[in-house]
């Protein structure tokens, strides 16, 4: 029993990181119909910049804030320089552009920082908390709390604020949104800043547990993408549930079946779900316009 | 004989294969050329899947992995000739593509992307983890094809590099010929029709699901043969051949060069195979430059390099 609890704890912790990445995917997808494969690099940048700044003597909270702001700015730059000029391009081209951006950011990170593995101290120490025979690190609580806080924040933003509704309107119909006076360019900028910032936050929160290096991004991107697809692309609730599910499936597979195939389990589940529900768990069935 | 685009493409490819060696400063370039041809074969499959039928795959390296490991494992375990192992690998890839393609190809766009991605990752993970069979991430040696010795017996004495250069070049031209025949066949027209609009294609009697499956299976065979040739040529193979980055590489080569035509895609394969060779001088900047090239070409030359260049030349000619 305590064993199961232990696996659940670790699953929820990783799942929270995946959920944050999946939420980042969702925001950009909603605003621009682009699946941003560079999303994982935002996580990497969050961790690496925080480590770099912290090492240079800047206190951790300020370093984290810096990392999130800089990454958000990089997200905005990416939108302006790479995504907006390619509007209307076929999906394959967009996939290649964002993967190109991802490779570019990795290349830049290994030049600016280095190729070593890094971490920084956990926010509230490393004394494990005992719960029902299992233990959980205080940092895990930070990660899980972060994911939930971001989800609630986004929910309030999208349903309760004018700006958030403008983002939703743009994702529904760009032209119609423009016609009612929404600055859709600003909405795009905002979405990329938000998405990159959330990715960086995931990196800041997770690094004390998972460590970071210039090449950790792609794994986060694949899992987050899988989570977002599992829940149904474009649906924040789906992203949250999908991310946590992928984390839990991985942890349970690693615990009970085989740690080598833990990455496989998530993709087997996705294939099965997509066979039965091609639109994902929470996605609405799409109809084609002829 | 009338000069059709098909004939023109084949002649251009043949001329390039035959004439390029005159420009080679050293024997090393036979090896680079052979690599370009191997990649070209995989990329021709992507042209059929993505260029003709408009479907995305982010997991085709998985099939290359099957082809490669068939050549490594089948001769050792079943005692069959490596050449037959290529056929066996292609058959397994085709069967797998056929089985998985049915449910997967109902998906569209990014969903198809993640499903094929999952498929590729599962294959690459099996190659990495089933150590008692594949020896895991360290890789495994592949037996000699033996064709070179046979040619020597017939009086055609080629160095190893030369042999693989001409042999892979021949295979590439053969693959291009098949793909071009498909393009102009009823099946090819059906594929291009469903690329334009699945609904419209269906109303004129195209069996959309069957045609998509056909394209998927054919492109899987191309990827598999490409993997086999890579393995036989290197006499050694690691699971990287089935990895996510290799899948992306295939799609990028095709789209960068121009996924609408066989020649364009092969051009892309040549550019992206040469790029790392050129960049070894600035190894630190390799990723930076590769990422930049991918973004710039897709933003500014959307149809791909070759179609854009041709259009510019034509405009100048007028």
pLDDT tens sequence across A269-289:
878 887 787 777 777 665 555
A269 touches B: beta carbon within 8 Å:
no
A181 touches B: beta carbon within 8 Å:
no
pLDDT score for B6: 81
Distance (Å, rounded) from C-alpha B86 to C-alpha B164?
Answer: 15
Angle CA A215–A216–A222, to nearest 5 = 115
A263 touches B: beta carbon within 8 Å:
yes
pLDDT score for A288: 52
Contact call for A111 and B121, based on CB within 8 A? no
A222 touches B: beta carbon within 8 Å:
yes
pLDDT score for B287: 82
Other CB atoms within 10 A of residue B192 CB: 17
Q: B86, B73 in Cβ contact below 8 A?
A: no
Nearest to B295 among A82, A225, A226 (CB): A82
Q: B86, B205 in Cβ contact below 8 A?
A: no
DSSP letter (8 states) at residue A232 = -
Other CB atoms within 10 A of residue B264 CB: 27
B23: left (phi over 0), alpha (psi -120 to 50) or beta: alpha
Average pLDDT over residues A75-94: 88
How far does B110 lie from chain A, in Å, by closest CA? Answer: 8
pLDDT score for B200: 85
- CB-facing half-sphere around the CA of A22: CA atoms within 13 A: 34
- Assigned token pair, A32: 């621009």
Provide, as residue numbers in chain B, all residues whose Cβ is less than 8 Å from the Cβ of A271. Answer: 104, 115, 118-119
Average pLDDT over residues A254-265: 82
**How many angstroms separate the Cα of A115 from the Cα of each of A3, A214, A217, B124?**
36, 6, 13, 25
Contact call for B110 and A99, based on CB within 8 A? no
**How many angstroms separate the Cα of A58 from the Cα of each of A51, A63, A139, A203, A206?**
10, 6, 20, 18, 19
Inter-chain CB pairs, A–B, below 8 Å? 133
pLDDT score for A284: 66
Contact call for B106 and A278, based on CB within 8 A? yes
Surface of A (20-79) touching B: CB under 8 A? 35
Contact call for A271 and B251, based on CB within 8 A? no
A253 touches B: beta carbon within 8 Å:
no
- Assigned token pair, A47: 């961790």
pLDDT score for B156: 75
Looking at this predicted complex, what is its ipTM? 0.85
A235 touches B: beta carbon within 8 Å:
no
Residue at token pair 């050792």:
B76
Q: B160, B148 in Cβ contact below 8 A?
A: yes
Confidence band (pLDDT; 50, 70, 90) for A216?
Answer: confident
Confidence band (pLDDT; 50, 70, 90) for A133?
Answer: confident
Residue at token pair 């951790």:
A60
Which of B314, B121, B312 lies closest to A268 in space, CA to CA? B121
A246 touches B: beta carbon within 8 Å:
no
Residue ranges per structural domain of chain B? 29-243
How many secondary structure helices (H) and strands (E) does chain A include?
Answer: 11, 2
Q: B290, A107 in Cβ contact below 8 A?
A: yes
pLDDT score for B2: 64
Alpha helix stretches (DSSP H) within A56-161 = 60-78, 91-112, 138-160
Residues A167-188 have pLDDT tens digits of 888 888 888 988 998 888 899 9
A249 touches B: beta carbon within 8 Å:
no
Closest alpha carbon within chain A to B196? A290
Instruction: Report residue A240: phi and psi, to 5°.
Output: -65, -50
- Assigned token pair, A171: 């994702």
Low-confidence ranges of chain B (pLDDT < 50): none
Domains and CATH numbers, chain A: 2-276 (1.10.3470)
pLDDT score for B95: 94
Residues in chain A: 290
Residue of B291, B293, B305, B308 for testing the chain A interface, max A β-carbons within 10 Å: B291
Beta bridge partners of B237: B140
Quote the mean pLDDT of chain A.
87
How far does A24 lie from chain B, in Å, by closest CA? Answer: 16
Distance (Å, rounded) from C-alpha A289 to C-alpha B11?
Answer: 42
Distance (Å, rounded) from C-alpha A289 to C-alpha B8?
Answer: 39
Contact call for B298 and A226, based on CB within 8 A? no
Q: A201, A146 in Cβ contact below 8 A?
A: yes
Q: B213, B101 in Cβ contact below 8 A?
A: yes
Contact call for B252 and A91, based on CB within 8 A? no
Contact call for A267 and B122, based on CB within 8 A? yes
pLDDT score for B225: 94
Q: Could you tell me whether strands A134-136 and A129-131 are parallel, antiparallel, or unpaired per DSSP bridges?
A: antiparallel
């Amino acid at each position: 029993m305590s064993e199961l609890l232990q696996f659940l704890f670790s699953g929820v912790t990783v799942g929270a990181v995946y959920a944050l990445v999946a939420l980042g995917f969702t925001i950009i997808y909603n605003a621009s119909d682009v699946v941003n494969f560079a999303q994982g690099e935002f996580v990497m940048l969050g961790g690496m910049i925080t480590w770099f700044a912290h090492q240079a003597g800047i206190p951790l909270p300020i370093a984290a804030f810096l990392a999130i702001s800089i990454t958000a700015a990089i997200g905005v730059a990416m939108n302006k320089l790479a995504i907006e000029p390619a509007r209307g391009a076929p999906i394959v081209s967009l996939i290649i552009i964002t993967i190109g951006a991802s490779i570019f950011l990795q290349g830049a990170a290994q030049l600016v920082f280095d190729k070593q593995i890094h971490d920084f101290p956990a926010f509230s120490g490393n004394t494990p908390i005992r719960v029902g025979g299992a233990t959980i690190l205080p940092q895990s609580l930070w990660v899980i709390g972060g994911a939930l806080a971001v989800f609630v924040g986004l929910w309030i933003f999208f349903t309760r604020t004018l700006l958030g509704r403008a983002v939703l309107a743009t994702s529904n119909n760009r032209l119609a949104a423009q016609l009612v006076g929404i600055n859709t360019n600003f909405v795009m900028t905002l979405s990329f800043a938000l998405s990159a910032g959330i990715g960086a936050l995931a990196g800041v929160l997770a690094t004390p547990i998972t460590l970071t290096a210039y090449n950790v991004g792609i794994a986060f991107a694949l899992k987050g993408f899988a989570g977002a697809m599992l829940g149904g692309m474009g649906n924040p609730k789906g992203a949250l549930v999908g991310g946590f599910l992928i984390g839990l499936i991985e942890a349970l597979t690693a615990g009970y079946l085989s740690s080598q195939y833990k990455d496989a389990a998530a993709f087997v589940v996705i294939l099965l779900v997509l066979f039965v529900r091609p639109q994902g768990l929470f996605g609405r069935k799409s109809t084609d316009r002829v | 004989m009338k000069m059709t685009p098909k004939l023109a493409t084949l002649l251009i490819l043949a001329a390039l294969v035959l004439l390029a060696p005159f420009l080679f400063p050293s024997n090393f370039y036979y090896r680079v050329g052979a690599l370009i041809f191997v990649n070209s074969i995989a990329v021709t499959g992507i042209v059929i899947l993505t260029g003709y039928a408009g479907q995305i795959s982010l997991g085709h390296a998985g099939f290359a992995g099957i082809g490669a490991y068939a050549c490594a494992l089948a001769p050792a375990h079943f005692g069959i000739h490596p050449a037959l192992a290529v056929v066996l690998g292609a058959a397994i890839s085709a069967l797998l593509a056929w089985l998985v393609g049915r449910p997967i190809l109902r998906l569209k766009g990014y969903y198809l992307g993640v499903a094929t991605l999952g498929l590729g990752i599962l294959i690459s993970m099996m190659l990495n983890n089933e150590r008692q069979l594949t020896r895991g991430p360290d890789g495994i040696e592949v037996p000699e094809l033996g064709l070179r010795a046979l040619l020597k017996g017939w009086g055609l004495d080629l160095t190893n590099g030369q042999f693989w250069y001409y042999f892979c070049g021949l295979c590439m031209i053969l693959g291009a010929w098949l793909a071009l025949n498909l393009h102009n066949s009823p099946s090819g027209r059906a594929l291009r029709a469903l690329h334009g609009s699945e609904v419209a294609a269906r109303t004129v009697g195209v069996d959309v699901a069957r045609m998509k499956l056909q394209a998927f299976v054919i492109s899987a065979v191309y990827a598999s043969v490409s993997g086999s040739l890579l393995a036989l040529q290197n006499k050694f193979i690691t699971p990287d051949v089935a990895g996510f980055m290799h899948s992306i590489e295939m799609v990028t080569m095709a789209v960068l060069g121009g996924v609408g035509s066989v020649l364009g895609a092969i051009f892309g394969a040549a550019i992206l195979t040469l790029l790392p060779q050129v960049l070894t001088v600035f190894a630190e900047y390799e990723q930076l430059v590769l990422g930049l090239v991918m973004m710039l070409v897709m933003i500014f030359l959307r149809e791909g390099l070759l179609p854009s260049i041709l259009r510019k030349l034509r405009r100048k000619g007028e």
